[in-house]
Structure 1
Amino acid sequence: MFLEVAMSRCAVALVVVITLFLSACGGGDTDRRRNDDENACVPSCQDGFSCVAGTCYVRVQPEDCGEGEEFDPSYRVCLVPSCEDTVQNGGEEGVDCGGPCELSCEDEPVEPTCDDGIQNGGEEGVDCGGACGLSCEDEPDVDPPTCDDGIQNGGEEGVDCGGSCEEACAAAPSCEDGIQNGGEEGVDCGGPCEQACEIPASCGDGQVQGEEQCDHGGTVELACAYGEASCEVCNAQCQLVAGQSSGYCGDGVVQSDEGEGCDHGGSPETECEAGETSCQVCNAQCELVDVEVESGCGDGVVQSGEDCDHGGSPQTSCAYGEESCQVCNAQCQEVAGRVTGYCGDGVMQPAHEGCDGGDLDGATCTSVGSAGGALSCDASCELDQSACLDVEIAELTSGFAHTCVRTTNGQVYCWGRNDDGRLGDGTTIYKAQPTLVPGLSNVTKISAGGYHTCAIQQGGTLSCWGGNQTGQLGNGTVVDALTPTPVVWAGTPPVVTTVSAGSTHTCAIVSGGQAYCWGSDESGKLGSGGAVPSSSPLTLPTPVSGLADATQIHAGRYHSCARRQLNGRYVCWGRNSYGELGDAGYFGSSSTVPRQVDDADYISGFLSGPYVAAGDRYSCARGTFGTIYCWGSPAYGQLGDSSTPSTSRPNEVFGGPGSADFLSVGERHVCAVASGTVYCWGSGQYGRLGLGDTDNFYEPFALTMPSAIDVQVGGMHTCARLTDGGVMCWGRNSHGQLGDGTQVDRTTPVRVQF
């Protein structure tokens, strides 16, 4: 019995989690080789890591260091200062030799000099790593400029390549090289000569303003820092451009001025050539280090000094499924192996798993042959198709304590309460999961009411089933029907275009626009036009007085509403104790004829709106532009305004989505869909709002759930049709109306188990 229309809202959530890993030597793709003289680890760390004292640390920025840590610029890592970490840091005055405190840190193993590349001893300036005559007191910045400082300046006509003067200025100047040189009067913009190179007036003042992307503050940046394979710099026009790489460990070029003794070109060397028992290799820090191979390692026999012997093929990885293990490395030492994956690590291993956690490798219910639904991963890392659907849902409807769907092939499934046969399966047994309604085919429209259900078949034939105490099945009796029963018409049956099942009555529109209602005429909700409502049920379809141009109709609990075709206006009839008919002149009275909703001409977007619906003591409509209006009793917040008294004037629902794509009205709560997001407000009893509690809400609140196409509000529960093809329900579940196989109330959405 409960409403459909819609609204729009965008929601964006972004959460970024950054995790830094520290890996011991031998972890990942590293090997560890023991040097007897230095007792030092010579690893090959993964890209992005530096080895310090036998451990691989992730490279970071200075600001990433935590309390008690110190950034070491040589390795670009955060370290807790120690006189045994082989790095001069903390309060150490000498060079840290990596031994016990009583052997190092105070006694310097090497006499400090001004050409050892480290500021130590009594040096007051920056140690430049050259001859003493180059001075540690003078600042390292070169001034005046020279042709080998890596920047084109001075009187240079060519491009300064940063080498010796004889090698440097060889490149011919060009107006497209991004450097002002040759006879250029402007700043070379790096494009064709005819393009202008204008510099913003404020460029160089150190403040980013106007169209500037950056501001170099007077010193143009051209090159990336050592260690950066790429970067952005601020050029002479105060634009961010790609900087010139000045080199890094692993680029295949030895930057001796940066302390490189070698450059491995991307693959650090860790082992000697076959047959060599000792050699020098280039490690991950571009340092030449000595490597010795112990005799016998790799022969398959554990000998003195060996923990194990790999027999020629060093082990590096744990077997699949192991979260940790010990392996035999290239030095015949037992070390922690690299974990290659296991079920539960969140990464699918195609050779062993069909999925892992949320990683389904792109699989969906559709790709595995189902019509729709939600594919998931079980605890064994196999695809779980239990929430996939064998049928494709085309329409959803919710009654007081039951729910039904129509499939694209014209079949109907229902579940929930069934003591009066409202599920249509020929029994009176409650069903907590969808059950096929037999005998129906080519169904084009369905509607679930308080105690009964109706369906239109292709060609316009209308059938109803379930409770019939007030004649709401329209077959001339007041006897319940356990299976679909045709509605009986006076004369030739008309072509029925739409139907709405209310609590104890039913309304429909036939071809041409004439509206009919039947069942209980309590408070005049059938609209028969009599002087007073009928005290007896009208068990056959009865024309609604003066409503021959209806385009949409909705049967509520004690009143009904419709939209007229000729002027697009809304009309309602039946009880008006709370202003639910929208006619202030009839407030407190009932009407057996349609009354026009007041003030429609004065509310922007209200006139000619596509949908109107009747709840219990109130009504709602969706205007032309997606705005939702409600009127009547605000007792549970369904008018969207806690301060509004009972009113006949349509009240715009504030605080919710401004443009609804779909709207649905129940007895005491309302829900809508906007751009795939479901919003609900009103009574929260039994969790029917889906917000995780049972509180009432006086304005629309968004639910946390998958994207939805439409929503259907029942008596004390709600269901939504999802874009993935599935259905989710929430609220009261006393009779299995949520379809999840239980009778447990849910305050948040759960999937229907088809």
Structure 2
Amino acid sequence: MNRYVAITAFVLLLIAYTSASEAAVRLRVSQSPPWALPGELFPVSVTVRALNADGTVDKTYVDPVTLAIKEGTGTEGATISGETVATPVEGIATFSELSINRIGRGYVLIAASGALSADSQPFTVGSGQVLLWGRNNYGQLGDGTNNNRNAPAIHPALTTVTAVSAGHTHTLALKDNDSVWSFGYNLYGQLGDGSTLTRTSPVQITNFTGVIALSAGEHHSMALKSDGTVWAWGYNGYGQLGDGTTTERHTPVQVSGLTGITAISAGGYHSLALKDDGTVWAWGNNWSGQIGNGSEDDQYLPVQVSGIRTAVAISAGDSHSVILTDDGTVWAFGNNADYQLGTSSVIYSDIPIAVSGVSGIKAVGAGNAHNLAVKTDGTEWAWGANGYYQLGDGTTTKRFTPASLTGPADIISTDAGYRHSTALRKNGGVWAWGYNYYGQLGDGTLTNRQVPKLITSLTDISCISAGGFHTAAIKMNLPVPFVWADVVTALRVTAGLQTINNVQFIRFDVEYTGASAARIDLHDVFRISRKVMGMEDNP
């Protein structure tokens, strides 16, 4: 009898130990909007997963999860609307029909449940004007010419854009009216317009909607739709379109077998996709192991990258790949000839290896053969190839140990081009450094920059994309504020001009500043609003 009691106690103890060891230890925001428009529903739902210590979902977790705008991010005073508390189903909390009311860059959502919390990737609320500069030999600046530019210029036809991506010699843009546009080199159909004609002005990819993210590679292009599917077009000699063939495609085709994708990245001749479960999938050229599946064979269909289960960001270089996991660790794999994997050996790796010497990372960017990373404290770090000062340390010495850069601070995102580098500040400013032969740094010169330089002509930037030898950015369509406070009615009216779909609107925000509640008289609002806009008072 005592033996049975002992066995029963042992079993109960084992069950208790197993339950405790598998209990959720952290949250991960597995899907968040890549962008949003003020006052409009997010293009995708936000999902939050409760994770066990090994990165798997704790399907028994049912504690409510609360979602909010993280303090100090986005625009001060912004609010999030919709159901911001959700109960997880099989460990996953889903937040649908959310919106944020104010334009701004660098918004971060924070999910919290008890003592657990997690941040989303940063995103912008609002659209903007595309600026382009650098090399233009194939019309990748989209201005109707082949003239290079050493300073940013606004593209007059791309004024309400939510996403932009600069490839090696072509550019992609997504407008807020759900249309995708492309321009530049098109020998392999990478513009997606059904032809192989190079375009020096933007052309729309027809019958292609529902897109929320774009990525331009060497000679191929990728798009992510709101339903979690991935589409690709252009050169396919190594299977980088992921349709199981090596057939060139001049219009978008769906990548086979992928659903639940939240981010994409097109490299030299390979492609990456991040799934909502934290796994990363890759396909295409694999001569140096940049697919990360333990082989060097080209992959014509997506395969899972080995050993990664909690990824939050991805970036594909020319022949290497970089992944950021939710604990702030950077992983790299593929070509290592220039130490881009962060090891002192030049031997490539066909599986992900952790980059030593750097931690607490929140954003990454892979260039041709160098990498950039942003720490949670807003500092910029770099390693890899450095023949053209792309590491920004004042030398041309390649580095296998990530080094902090002097100058850039409060950085929220970063992107690496072929031989140049960029970093976006929280206040909308941009730093650039490295190769500048074609003016791709945008500082008005053709001088290579050994250390980061603040590009003073760039303000209110919400997105920066470094291509082969050109650069693209989005300048936010910010309302121009006018404020009037009326002491008699205790009304404070803020008005601003805002352009949406090429139509200019006047927006009024009315606030009652009195000590006690009062009914707002619309006649007073109208009268004060006319004063705000410089009109005469009309009783």
Same fold (TM over 0.5): yes
Report how many aligned residue pairs link the two structures. Answer: 337
CA distance in 1, matches of 2:388, 2:455: 18
Aligned ranges 1:506-521 → 2 under 5 Å: 506-521=221-236
Contact 2:438–2:446 (CA<8 Å) still a contact in 1?
A: yes
Paired letter, 1:663: V
Matched, 1:437 2:155: yes
Contact 2:429–2:456 (CA<8 Å) still a contact in 1?
A: no
Paired letter, 1:515: V
CA distance in 2, matches of 1:670, 1:509: 24
Paired letter, 1:418: N
Q: Which whole-Å deviations, capped at 9, do the CAs of 1:656-692 have from their partners, x for residues lacking one? A: 2x11111111110000111111000000011011000
Paired letter, 2:241: L
Contact 2:172–2:183 (CA<8 Å) still a contact in 1?
A: yes
Contact 1:494–1:511 (CA<8 Å) still a contact in 2?
A: no
CA distance in 2, matches of 1:464, 1:752: 26
Deviation at 1:723, TM superposition (A): 3.2
Structure with the higher fraction of residues in strand conformation = 2
Match of 2:355 in 1: 653
Contact 1:393–1:725 (CA<8 Å) still a contact in 2?
A: no
Identity %: 36
Matched, 1:676 2:378: yes
Match of 1:728 in 2: 431
CA distance in 1, matches of 2:335, 2:214: 26
Instruction: Extract unaligned runs of 5+ from structure 2.
Output: 1-102, 107-123, 458-539
Deviates more, 1:474-483 or 1:406-415: 406-415
Match of 1:449 in 2: 167
CA distance in 2, matches of 1:561, 1:443: 24
Contact 1:562–1:613 (CA<8 Å) still a contact in 2?
A: no
CA distance in 2, matches of 1:655, 1:624: 17
Deviation at 1:724, TM superposition (A): 4.0
Match of 2:314 in 1: 612
In structure 2, the CA distance between the partners of 1:724 and 1:459, relative to structure 1 (3 Å rule), is closer
Matched, 1:554 2:257: no
Paired letter, 1:569: T
CA distance in 2, matches of 1:719, 1:407: 21
Match of 1:114 in 2: none
Match of 2:57 in 1: none
CA distance in 1, matches of 2:412, 2:430: 10
| SS class of match (1:581) | coil
Matched, 1:582 2:292: yes
Contact 1:688–1:717 (CA<8 Å) still a contact in 2?
A: yes
Matched, 1:688 2:390: yes
Contact 2:337–2:346 (CA<8 Å) still a contact in 1?
A: no
In structure 2, the CA distance between the partners of 1:734 and 1:393, relative to structure 1 (3 Å rule), is farther
Deviates more, 1:496-505 or 1:723-732: 723-732
Matched, 1:622 2:324: yes
Matched, 1:472 2:190: yes
Aligned ranges 1:185-200 → 2 under 5 Å: none
CA distance in 2, matches of 1:407, 1:476: 32
Paired letter, 1:508: A
Q: Which whole-Å deviations, capped at 9, do the CAs of 1:51-99 have from their partners, x for residues lacking one? A: xxxxxxxxxxxxxxxxxxxxxxxxxxxxxxxxxxxxxxxxxxxxxxxxx
Q: Which whole-Å deviations, capped at 9, do the CAs of 1:205-248 have from their partners, x for residues lacking one? A: xxxxxxxxxxxxxxxxxxxxxxxxxxxxxxxxxxxxxxxxxxxx
Choose the corresponding residue for 1:745, options 423, 427, 448. 448
Choose the corresponding residue for 2:368, options 667, 679, 684. 667
Aligned ranges 1:229-244 → 2 under 5 Å: none
CA distance in 2, matches of 1:509, 1:694: 37
Choose the corresponding residue for 1:545, options 256, 265, 276. 256
Contact 1:680–1:701 (CA<8 Å) still a contact in 2?
A: yes
Deviation at 1:753, TM superposition (A): 4.2
Paired letter, 1:672: A
| SS class of match (1:523) | coil
Deviation at 1:564, TM superposition (A): 1.7
Choose the corresponding residue for 1:424, options 142, 165, 170. 142
Deviation at 1:644, TM superposition (A): 6.3
CA distance in 2, matches of 1:699, 1:512: 39
Matched, 1:718 2:421: yes
CA distance in 2, matches of 1:487, 1:559: 22
Q: Which whole-Å deviations, capped at 9, do the CAs of 1:151-179 have from their partners, x for residues lacking one? A: xxxxxxxxxxxxxxxxxxxxxxxxxxxxx
Q: Which whole-Å deviations, capped at 9, do the CAs of 1:252-272 have from their partners, x for residues lacking one? A: xxxxxxxxxxxxxxxxxxxxx
Deviation at 1:568, TM superposition (A): 2.3
Deviation at 1:393, TM superposition (A): 9.4
CA distance in 1, matches of 2:401, 2:302: 29
CA distance in 2, matches of 1:740, 1:517: 34
Aligned ranges 1:181-220 → 2 under 5 Å: none
Match of 1:482 in 2: 200
CA distance in 1, matches of 2:166, 2:262: 20
Match of 2:209 in 1: 494
| SS class of match (2:311) | coil
Matched, 1:709 2:412: yes
Match of 1:76 in 2: none
Deviation at 1:583, TM superposition (A): 0.9
Deviates more, 1:645-654 or 1:666-675: 645-654
Deviation at 1:714, TM superposition (A): 0.5
Contact 1:425–1:435 (CA<8 Å) still a contact in 2?
A: no
In structure 2, the CA distance between the partners of 1:553 and 1:524, relative to structure 1 (3 Å rule), is same
Contact 2:161–2:176 (CA<8 Å) still a contact in 1?
A: yes
Deviation at 1:725, TM superposition (A): 2.9
| SS class of match (2:388) | helix
In structure 2, the CA distance between the partners of 1:747 and 1:407, relative to structure 1 (3 Å rule), is farther
| SS class of match (2:238) | helix
Paired letter, 1:616: D
CA distance in 2, matches of 1:666, 1:742: 22
Q: Which whole-Å deviations, capped at 9, do the CAs of 1:330-381 have from their partners, x for residues lacking one? A: xxxxxxxxxxxxxxxxxxxxxxxxxxxxxxxxxxxxxxxxxxxxxxxxxxxx
Contact 2:313–2:363 (CA<8 Å) still a contact in 1?
A: no
Q: Which whole-Å deviations, capped at 9, do the CAs of 1:512-537 have from their partners, x for residues lacking one? A: 1110010000211111112xx12xx3
CA distance in 2, matches of 1:706, 1:697: 19
CA distance in 2, matches of 1:736, 1:689: 18
Paired letter, 1:723: K
Match of 1:633 in 2: 335
CA distance in 2, matches of 1:502, 1:686: 21
In structure 2, the CA distance between the partners of 1:620 and 1:436, relative to structure 1 (3 Å rule), is same
Contact 1:526–1:592 (CA<8 Å) still a contact in 2?
A: yes
| SS class of match (2:243) | coil
Contact 1:425–1:436 (CA<8 Å) still a contact in 2?
A: no
CA distance in 1, matches of 2:170, 2:456: 22
Match of 1:108 in 2: none
Root-mean-square deviation (CA, aligned residues, Å) is: 2.0
CA distance in 2, matches of 1:735, 1:408: 30
Matched, 1:568 2:271: no
Query: Considering only CA atoms, is the larger Rg found in Structure 1 or Structure 2?
Result: 1
Deviation at 1:640, TM superposition (A): 0.6
CA distance in 1, matches of 2:223, 2:350: 25
CA distance in 2, matches of 1:746, 1:680: 15
